[in-house]
Amino acid sequence: MPQSALSTHFQSLKKHRSRLENLSLSALFQSEPNRADDLSIDDGVLFFDFSKNRIDQQSLAVLLNLATDAKIEEARGRMFRGGKINFTENRAVLHTALRAGEGPAIIVDGINVRDQISKAKRQAFDFAEKVRSGEYSLGRHTIKDVVNIGIGGSDLGPVMCVAALQPYCSGPNIHFVSNVDGADFHDTTKGLDPHSTLFVIASKTFTTAETMANAKLAKTWLSEKISPRDIGRHFVALSTNLEATAEFGIDKNRIFGFWDWVGGRYSIWSSIGLSLMIAIGSDNYQQFLEGAKSADEHFLKQRLEDNIPVLMALIGIWHRNIWGFSAHAVLPYDNRLLHFPAYLQQLDMESNGKHICADSTISQYSTGPVIWGEPGTNGQHAFYQLLHQGSDIIPCDFLVGALSHEIDQTHQKMLLANCLAQSEAMMLGRSPQQVTEMMQPNIDARLVPHKVFEGNRPSNTFIYQKLTPYVLGKLIAYYEHKIFVQGVIWGINSFDQWGVELGKQLASDIQPLLEKEHVSYDSSIHDASTNNLIARFFQLSK
Ligand code: F6P
């Protein structure tokens, strides 16, 4: 939305901040008897509690006004209808269509993408089932191991979901190689049998240097045991670049395509999900899509005040722009969500880590925060100290299931108790009086401040019954829409990623310089520090 309009809303919100600064969260709970119910939403599968934020009905009303003025509903409609909202790349943004199923045509450049999607999905499902059943084999070997080679959005979605949905994994073992550091390929393939290993080369562009280098390495690795005639069967490609996949030598029957209107970080819903499909099977993957679809319907149909992703976004804006909090922690109390913070890091930071607005001017306001996190309870014994008593306030999202997939629920209750205790501790804190009372009768006044917790540290909590494919799909889609809403409010393009280009270009300039020492090159091209480090590389690599 225009910066001038944003400025008016932010000024009014800042007045609410001043008012609320004098009220603690416990005081808000005392004065609002229905606060826990009023500031939470049950969508039937996920329960979203946002009552532990320093917010009240008045400030919420102003935030909702901001969302209305930002024309979120219109922008949302444009995205779902296939409008070219990725305006710097002139592309539609239609990851939502990938999970929409049957319905009226969605036309992009004169083509009904629904037809393309269902055909591509059928092909991917069919192949995944053939791998799972052994119908697709490697000579006389059934596939025991699948290695997904991809990076960024072509890695993080599958890697996160395969770990999250372990109880549903009943196919071959799935492994991931992403880093160009040769250690990644080496350590991942150590112990695998080339005869029974399938490589899935996942790359939207099929030009990403790291993925191409690892794909070539996979060919070499296979060629030590497999005859050149048979190597082709060990490769599958997931890409929009059909020319490059053919050039790499992958049979056209094993190329699973998608389209430029699927952003890399939104591509788990496309053929990029193939390794997940192979792991959990097409029925479970369909459930994953259904979960996301139900989140899309919620986002489309619910009023702004009852809309989970809209509220997540507004609370984020409140924290980032009105309170100045520059980071946001994602804390899953679900060990299988161990890669969820990293997944959201790409989703959020590559989408909203920008400061140029739609009209090409510099944003006057802070945009996307730093996203980070780790599963609880591990994080409690590492960085939570800073969350409780550090000089910066970091809003947190807690995620937890009521039940685990394990038969004995004893651990789950401990886990849940810890999760609830952390958000409560962050909110309530512990006053000097309470500390003094606890220290009775040996009060050491010098120690009191060290044991005080200020409290009033904000958090959201998502609670669900169990981490199923449906729940996971829904969760991811809510975060996607949160990020979209924030991008609309900040007036930035959440769907390009120009910020990763410069580093890629410089790496390809530097690499030839590492090939041969004393090669004559124009040392003024790189800065003195970089030149020095290149020289040091040659000294150290002897
Ligand atoms: O470098 C960033 C990026 O373009 C991401 O947006 C993307 O997910 C990743 O690289 C991988 O790209 P590709 O799927 O084309 O290999």
At residue 52, φ and ψ (nearest 5 deg) are: -90, 35
| Domain assignment of residue 75, yes or no | no
Please state whether 485 falls in left (phi above 0), alpha (psi between -120 and 50) or beta: alpha
Distance from C-alpha of 315 to C-alpha of 462, rounded to nearest angstrom: 14
Nearest CA to ligand 1 atom 9: 152
Judgement on whether residues 123 and 254 belong to the same structural domain of the protein: yes
Judgement on whether residues 324 and 435 belong to the same structural domain of the protein: yes
Distance from C-alpha of 77 to C-alpha of 81, rounded to nearest angstrom: 6
| Domain assignment of residue 204, yes or no | yes
| Domain assignment of residue 380, yes or no | yes
Q: CATH number for the domain including 360?
A: 3.40.50.10490
Q: What is the structure's pLDDT at 523?
A: 72
CA of 237 to the centre of ligand 1 (A): 15
Judgement on whether residues 456 and 521 belong to the same structural domain of the protein: no
| Domain assignment of residue 84, yes or no | no
Q: What is the structure's pLDDT at 457?
A: 98
Catalytic residue among 190, 301, 381, 450: 381
Q: Which of 490, 507, 530 is the last residue of a domain?
A: 490
Q: Which of 227, 248, 281 is the last residue of a domain?
A: 281
Q: How many residues does the chain have?
A: 542
Q: Under DSSP, is residue 473 helix (H, G, I), strand (E, B) or coil?
A: helix
Judgement on whether residues 203 and 106 belong to the same structural domain of the protein: yes
| Domain assignment of residue 480, yes or no | yes
Judgement on whether residues 368 and 224 belong to the same structural domain of the protein: no
| Domain assignment of residue 86, yes or no | no
CA of 534 to the centre of ligand 1 (A): 27
CA of 367 to the centre of ligand 1 (A): 22
Q: CATH number for the domain including 535?
A: 1.10.1390
| Domain assignment of residue 294, yes or no | no
Q: Which domain holds residue 202?
A: 95-281
In whole angstroms, how far apart are CA 403 and each of 48, 199, 295, 394, 468? 17, 35, 22, 28, 11
CA of 264 to the centre of ligand 1 (A): 6
Q: Which of 247, 281, 315 is the last residue of a domain?
A: 281
| Domain assignment of residue 349, yes or no | yes
Q: What is the structure's pLDDT at 410?
A: 94
E strand or H helix at 10? helix 3-21
Q: Is 167 exposed, middle or buried (0-12, 13-18, 19+ CB in 10 A)?
A: middle
Nearest CA to ligand 1 atom 3: 152
Number of compact structural domains in the chain? 3
Q: What is the structure's pLDDT at 521?
A: 64
Judgement on whether residues 243 and 101 belong to the same structural domain of the protein: yes
Distance from C-alpha of 154 to C-alpha of 203, rounded to nearest angstrom: 6
Judgement on whether residues 351 and 422 belong to the same structural domain of the protein: yes
Active-site residue flag, 16: no
For ligand 1, residues with CB inside 6 Å are 151-154, 203-205, 208, 211, 264-265, 350, 497, 500
Judgement on whether residues 54 and 110 belong to the same structural domain of the protein: no
Would you write out the chain's pLDDT as a tens digit for each of its 542 residues?
889 999 999 999 999 999 999 999 999 999 999 999 999 999 999 999 999 999 999 999 999 999 999 999 999 999 999 999 999 999 999 999 999 999 999 999 999 999 999 999 999 999 999 999 999 999 999 999 999 999 999 999 999 999 999 999 999 999 999 999 999 999 999 999 999 999 999 999 999 999 999 999 999 999 999 999 999 999 999 999 999 999 999 999 999 999 999 999 999 999 999 999 999 999 999 999 999 999 999 999 999 999 999 999 999 999 999 999 999 999 999 999 999 999 999 999 999 999 999 999 999 999 999 999 999 999 999 999 999 999 999 999 999 999 999 999 999 999 999 999 999 999 999 999 999 999 999 999 999 999 999 999 999 999 999 999 999 999 999 999 999 999 999 999 999 999 999 999 999 999 999 998 865 666 778 899 999 999 999 999 98
Catalytic residue among 411, 504, 516, 517: 504
Active-site residue flag, 504: yes
Judgement on whether residues 478 and 513 belong to the same structural domain of the protein: no
Judgement on whether residues 313 and 404 belong to the same structural domain of the protein: yes
Q: Which atom of ligand 1 is nearest to the CA of 202?
A: 14
Q: What is the structure's pLDDT at 525?
A: 80
Judgement on whether residues 198 and 240 belong to the same structural domain of the protein: yes
Active-site residue flag, 130: no
Q: Which atom of ligand 1 is nearest to the CA of 151?
A: 11
Which residue from 454, 319, 459, 316 is spatially nearest to 376, judged by alpha carbons?
459
User: Model-level pTM greater than 0.95?
Assistant: yes
Catalytic residue among 210, 350, 374, 480: 350
CA of 41 to the centre of ligand 1 (A): 35
Q: What is the structure's pLDDT at 520?
A: 62
Judgement on whether residues 307 and 441 belong to the same structural domain of the protein: yes
